[in-house]
Structure 1
Amino acid sequence: MIHFMEIKAVIFDRDHTLLYFDQAQLAALEENIAVIAPELPPHAAVRAWSSWPGPWPQHRDDEPAFWAEFWAGLGHAHGLQPAQILSLTNDVGAIYHTTFGAYPDAAPTVRALRSGGIRLAILTNYELPSVDLTLAHAGIDPSLFDIALTSAMLGVYKPDSRAYLAAAAALDLPPSACLFVDDLAENVAAARSVGMPAYQIDRSLPVDNLDAARISTLDTLIGLLLPPSTRD
């Protein structure tokens, strides 16, 4: 049973919880790549990303060097010219964050919770530290979040228990005072295993199933965590 009066913070997953991958923007990104480097096979960049051995950047300032190394490796593997590699680095790497959109319930829920005195955090398995850029582009104010932790920054991925404990420690709160929300059942179960209350967000549900700790929309959290007098 979740004791809602004890919850001081909500820790959100990002992908498929707050944000989704905008397929139209992803297609536009692929088209941009094809214009710059028609020699690249379709989806070559996606495959290279999925198989990237690391290391991933741990700080925003490290990202330009990462993109330079990423596109240089891909470009050399496919015989691209230096000018093409430079263009991919500068033109494509700089707009990756634009491939994300926000679910309609995300920004209003985040604003309401923060206005109601609930602290906010993000714990994501996303590799790049520029989480703030993806949020801002999608229309969610990144300044509303106390912390945003990525797998690369932590050195572990959810559902590793250390990820949840690190997020709670960064908020200077016990796990029991943090509510975790994720779209994957295994990540939710792992949060509960360290004493952190958790809900799975499943937008395919017609209604919430609170007994099973599954919610169909993020704005359910407003009703659960905020007294009526503090709701927008």
Structure 2
Amino acid sequence: MSVYEGRFAGRCAVITGGASGLGKDVARRIIAEGGKAVLWDRNAAALAATKDEIGATHVVALDVSDADAVAAAAKESAEVLGKIDVLICSAGITGATVPLHEFPIDSWLQVVNVNLNGLFYCNRAVVPYLLENGYGRIVNVSSVAGKEGNPNASAYSATKAAVIGLTKSLGKELAGKGVIANAITPATFESPILEQLPPSQVEYMRSKIPMGRLGEIHESTAMVCFAASEECSFTTAATFDTSGGRTTF
């Protein structure tokens, strides 16, 4: 992993899903490049370990599907950091892996509450702090499933498509106000979220990638960090693709 020394100097980031996977890797890189990071995650033990491992400024254990908890965490994070410049929404779950007509309603609602409602709560709570700065970068983590749709993953695919739509709307609202919002649509890459899926589903997703392999986490981290940096100054309300050639638009 190459590091751009000082790229995030003076910048303060909030990262959801920050105790593992892409969120953790992005946080590690932002800190390595001079920034400060507050990590949000529902796994308190993993948060504490990650804080020590990567040198995060602060951690908040919360469920992003709890709107009041998210609002409180945003206020706490802004107080600890002094400001918020960057929001990375990486928290997400896969839900059941079954045909739509067999999809458990409780699993459907849980996926919607975390992947869509939770992301909305996080954006809604943090945007005022970015507007107060007159500067901000938002990166909402969607998925290739939001563009292509994966069979037996209707809830995940639907919520990730909704994340793209939400981000396009938000980016247009904030254009010209110093705050840029984009989404990233990775194909499957090696991360803890794969533990939520049966091997057959992972192999299906691998088979759809023209490069013939899963992504590597640092490849999506690099894209997220570009979109979260001052370098991304004109592109907003867009999606950045890291799919190994899978997506068709």
Which bin holds the TM-score, normalised by the shorter protein? 0.3 to 0.5
| Structure having greater relative contact order (Cα 8 Å, sep ≥ 6) | 1
- The alignment's TM-score, normalised by the length of structure 1, stands at 0.42
